[in-house]
Amino acid sequence: MKNLKFILLATIIFLGSNLHAQNYDSVSGATPKADGKKMNLEQFIKALDTTRTLVFSTVNTDGTPNAAAFATFNNLGGNVFAVNSMADSKTTKINLKERKLAMLIMVLSEKTEDGFEGAKVVLKYIEDKAKIAEYRAKMEKTTENTTFFTVEDFLIYH
């Protein structure tokens, strides 16, 4: 429970401003550390196979933050990922459809070989129906609630 409270508090801090596609630093609201580093796609995919907590953060219409924990985040190849349980009626999905971006916060239970404790990842919502059909065909299990993203950037994780 303490971890969830920490993650929610961190999410609120990271999303102090509205999401803007051209300025990813405004997504996190964090001041970069001089010695900070960020994951790359290969490290991120590897870290997804470890014990971790995933929190999707979006911004509501009124500018307030929204956060939701998800267990699955499946790589479909390259920088394309899917979540199987994001219903259209949920606030997170509604925000994604309106603003097209989300922040994924990954908190790892142990440091990786590279010394990462987690990751902050900027995601872009995929709404192109032809691409969605192509991605669905790659999956063993998919539902109407399967939602697709591209990884746009990795921010410095503090």
User: 66-122, pLDDT tens digit by residue?
Assistant: 999 988 899 999 999 999 888 888 899 999 999 999 999 999 999 988 889 999 999
- Calculate the average pLDDT of the chain: 82
Beta strand 101-108 with 118-125: parallel, antiparallel or unpaired? antiparallel
Tell me what percent of the residues of the chain surpass a pLDDT of 70: 77
Q: Burial-class residue 52 by CB neighbours within 10 Å (0-12, 13-18, 19+).
A: middle
Give the contacts of 9 (CB within 8 A, at least 6 positions apart).
Answer: none
Q: What is the CATH number of domain 2-24+36-155?
A: 2.30.110.10
pLDDT at residue 40 greater than cutoff 60: yes
Per-residue pLDDT band for 152 (boundaries 50, 70, 90) equals: very high
Determine the pLDDT at residue 43: 94
pLDDT bucket at 48, cuts 50 / 70 / 90: very high
pLDDT at 23 over 70: no
66: helix, strand or coil:
strand
Distance (Å, whole) CA 125 – CA 10 = 22
Determine the pLDDT at residue 19.
40
Q: What's the confidence (pLDDT) of residue 154?
A: 94
Q: For residues 143 and 35, what is the distance between their CA atoms, to the nearest angstrom? A: 42
Distance CA 100, CA 116 (A): 27
Residue 157 pLDDT greater than 60, yes or no: yes
Boundaries of every domain in the chain = 2-24+36-155
In whole angstroms, what is the distance from residue 35 CA to residue 13 CA?
20
Inform me whether the pLDDT recorded for 26 exceeds 60.
no
Q: Is the pLDDT of residue 30 over 80?
A: no
Do residues 76 and 84 lie in contact, with contact meaning Cβ atoms separated by under 8 Å? no
Please check whether residue 57 is in contact with residue 103, taking contact to mean a CB–CB distance below 8 angstroms. yes
- What integer pLDDT is reported at residue 88 of this predicted model? 84
